[in-house]
Structure 1
Amino acid sequence: MYTRTLRPSPVKHIYKFASHKNGNVQTVESSLEFNACFHFEYANEVSSFVAQPEGFYYQFENRTCSYTPDFELFCRSGKKVFVEIKPPPEALKHDFIQRFTAKKKAVEMLGKELILVTDHQISSIPKLRNLKLINRYAGLYTEAVSRKKIHELIKKSHGLTIADISELCGADSAEVLVDVMWLVASGKVLINIDETFGYESLIWVGGGQ
């Protein structure tokens, strides 16, 4: 096992993702990896994640090769998952498939899992747009209306829209949006992340909230 350190490069752009879930900043080397961070940040099954985790060695064509996964996910179930990010054209190349199979065998020996994630999965719209909207308000400490009041209204009604909440609170929809997105980011309320989110989209409270 070894650790790879990302440094400024004339051919690669370095991106930094401020993670509220991890309480730190993750450094990645592509816009695709940066966008993947939004998915991991708000995936309920992921308790934390690390970019450029400790790497490992694997055997390929009678040679010992080194490999650093793009991410390691630590799941609430206790499972640890390495993630390789690749655009579909590269993921379909024969050499990549052969190497990926060899890497998976090596990972199994470590008691972990290796999965492939493509840009089609990461860049899916409107999901990625919604995740970025949530992230925009996740770190706000100042309430625009009242998060507690909004949460209670949604919980009692079994689902409301921002337009509904705006009318009930006598507040501007844009202000309600700020508090609702904070509640979504904290996991206190839910939205359909796969549909375009707007003032008429349904917001509800999940079990245990």
Structure 2
Amino acid sequence: MSVRQSLLAILDQGPCYGYQLRAEFARRTGSSWPLNVGQIYNTLDRLERDGLVAKGEIDAEGHVYYRITDAGSTEVAAWLAAPVERGPASRNELAVKVAVAATLPGVDLGALLQEQRRASLARHDALIRTTDAASPGEPEELARAIVADAMILHAQAELRWLDLVEERLARHPERAIALELATDRPKRGRPARAA
């Protein structure tokens, strides 16, 4: 998710100050990805450095308003028109954890998978309850429902993936053979310190 482009897109609607951008981002994403105000201002500083926003007026309360530049509007249009590309090697913490655990001696992979299933199912059910309680007639609720739907489908995919892992393990009960540390050593590494 691109905070940078999202903030630019909001600024394309009109000038905002940092806390206002934070609130607008929350409204437009169903508060699903909380941003701290430091992240907002760091992003604004980079956007200003890159010529995509400029500092504008300061109101009576001392809020510095940022406005989008023509270059920023062009970047927003390009971002909205382009598909989101997912890299082939996206890091999935759960997949990495399970893969490593499957190669370690003494790990109860079944227990690990069951605990993850409980957590994933609880997350899925909580998302369903949140979505069922929403009234998508309001723009903010529609935004929240859109994000929640994506999160629900990801949770369902994770549960299905856990099923596939268990099926794979059932077909390979000899999995108990753990990987030993490799005997060949990489050519690079931190040299020993001189005494």
Normalising by structure 1, report the TM-score: 0.20
If each structure's helix is expressed as a fraction of its own residues, which one has the higher value? 2
- Which structure exhibits the higher relative contact order, with contacts defined as CA atoms closer than 8 Å and separated by 6 or more residues? 2
If each structure's strand is expressed as a fraction of its own residues, which one has the higher value? 1
**Greater radius of gyration (CA):** 2
